[in-house]
Chain A
Amino acid sequence: MHNPSQSGASLEISDLSKAYGSFKALDAVSLTARQGEFLSLLGPSGSGKTTTLNMIAGFTSPTSGEIRVDGREISTLPPYRRDIGIVFQHYALFPHLTAAQNIAFPLQRRGMPRRDVAVRVAEALEMVKLDGYGDRYPRQLSGGQQQRVAFARAVVFKPKLLLMDEPLGALDKKLREDLQGEIRRIHRSLGITFVFVTHDQEEALALSDRIAVFNHGRIEQIGTSRELYETPATEFVARFIGEANIFSGTLVRGDAGLALDTPVGLLPVETRLPAGRQASLVVRPERLEIGKAPHAGSDPHVPATVRDVVYLGSNRRIEIVFDDGRTGIIRGSGRGTDVGAGERIDIRWSIADGYVVPFSSSQTGDGHGS
């Protein structure tokens, strides 16, 4: 087994930009992946995450900025000199070669003796639990098996950095979850640095050490799953990671402290932002409590109407409509959530469970993000 700290490379991207004419696909993005880290690039399509990946891989040349792997600038190297493993969304297995020949390909390009190639290919097939499938052609394998072969091929030459471009995007849910587990297992055992591009926030949350959230060619926030969920830097992150109830308004200083003046009422908040600022309050669905009568204490509370209740076994997902017409989500279990569609309720939360982010005009859509 390798020593994880030695087999992963560090990746530093600074001020990386890509412009197509006047359109900026990537706008001065900087990020770092530590040695052996699992970093996800998460964002909607067209947010710049794939452009970033393509520039690390060498398929796209940056307009400006630097990419360093273990401190070495690689932007001028052609892709075949970068020694970076890549797993493609649609596998990109060579259809005229068997699984074993596909996996042998990078080893042969490096002039490895035939006998060593055979040993390494066998090890790689075993690693992805495909021993005995070496002689099959890609079309004789299922989608999941093909992606395993692609994975084995991308790591068999022991790159220090592995890029994955939505590698599970073409597979069904059950298979995705199985492969997620395997990707985590392989990441731990190989210790290489993984950069994983996805638009699926659940996948990113489940796999990553840290996540970089992309939007409109910029990074909105980089952090652990927990940081992104509990302390989102922007409204976009709050909506993109998990579900959120969002109230927008102006911060005002009242008798009991700072509050957000919103269309549905004055909501007490805790924040370091100054009064007078436009801001949005983010409250996660599982932090909300349901009351049948208006709350009498000092906690923030808002009246709402139940629109729909979805029973999900372990919990319920309750869609609500606030009096200004915007929608919200409550997730919870227990007796408190026993409400029916059309019922008037009063929702409340502890002031510490609300998180204030600066107002951003780039935000689109209303209601909860998913």
Chain B
Amino acid sequence: MRGGIPRSPGRIFAWGMAGLVMLWLTAPVLVLLPLSFSGRRSFRFPPDTWSLRWYENFFTDSTWHASLLTSLKVGLLSTAASMILGTMAAFALHKLYFSGKAFVTGFLLAPMIFPGVVSAIAIFGVYLTWHISGTLTGFVAAHTVLSLPFVIVSVRSALRIFDWELEKAAASLGASPFETFRLVTLPLILPGVLIGGLFAFVISFDEVVVSLFLQTPFVRTLPVQMYLSVTESIDPTVAAASTIIVIVTVASILISMLFWQKRKTSDA
């Protein structure tokens, strides 16, 4: 909106509503942030004393920072896997005609709408027989399944606006199918792939239900560690951890937005 100064009563109302909604959406963070700087072992809000001890605890207690590291590892690996697999799947769905395509599409997108707890039990059951429950591989595979649909959806929408004549042009100029993909198609659908990847990372980093089933004391993601911490003890480190999660998520979105902005201005 231009100007931004509300004049008419309608505008004042609209801005007021928007403000309320923004407050509603951010309120949890506004509570958590001060809590993480509390000086006491309590969840009293607002805190009466202040300290950095919970952040110190987060980075010295290995159960906490190891879980952050696990989350980052699982997040980055599953993001990479779902970006590659999702792009391939989106291509197949876009380019190929085969019977049962609607079924395959629905199957691939199912994890997006399937109840998380059902997926979790199913994955857990299979993992027990495969003996990969509680392993990094198991986490990465499970998170890849969950984030794959978001990459597929995002890449498909990029492919929908891609001009396929460019692939013909590249071929006529002597580019093999692989060169065409690397030099023409991929650079042009990259925004779709990256947005899908961003979704994938945020989903993995934030995932609790499946991770709760797969966790062991040795391999545990940060959200699971937080859940267990809250159920077992009163430990404001969880507030510090929440703040760190918010920072990582917001940072990854901001970085991608900045990247976008740069791309756009360099293109214009």
Chain A residues at the B interface, C-beta cutoff of 8 Å: 57-59, 78-86, 88, 90, 92-96, 105-106, 109-110, 137, 139, 153-154, 157
Contact = CB atoms under 8 A, between A and B. Distances in A.
A94 B168 contact: no
Task: Give me the 5 closest cross-chain CB pairs, A-B, nearest first.
Answer: A106-B173, A92-B169, A109-B174, A79-B171, A86-B172
A319 B170 CA distance: 49
Nearest to A59: B168
Contacts of B180: 80
B171 A80 contact: yes
Given A86-B172, A96-B188, 10 more contacts: A57-B168, A79-B172, A80-B175, A80-B176, A81-B174, A82-B172, A88-B169, A105-B173, A109-B173, A153-B173
B100 to A, nearest CB: 22
A90 B174 contact: no
Nearest to A80: B171
Interface in B156-187: 163, 165-166, 168-177, 179-180, 183-184, 187
B187 A90 contact: no
Contacts of A88: 165, 168-169
A77 B183 CA distance: 22
Nearest to A109: B174
B191 to A, nearest CB: 11
A106 B171 contact: no
A242 to B, nearest CB: 32
Nearest to B173: A106
B267 interface: yes
A83 B184 contact: no
A83 B169 contact: no
A284 B254 CA distance: 71
Given A80-B175, A92-B163, A157-B174, A86 B188 contact: no
B267 A79 contact: no
A58 B171 contact: yes
A154 B165 CA distance: 14
Contact of A106 (B165, B166, B174, B177): B174
Contacts of A157: 173-174
Interface in B113-169: 163, 165-166, 168-169
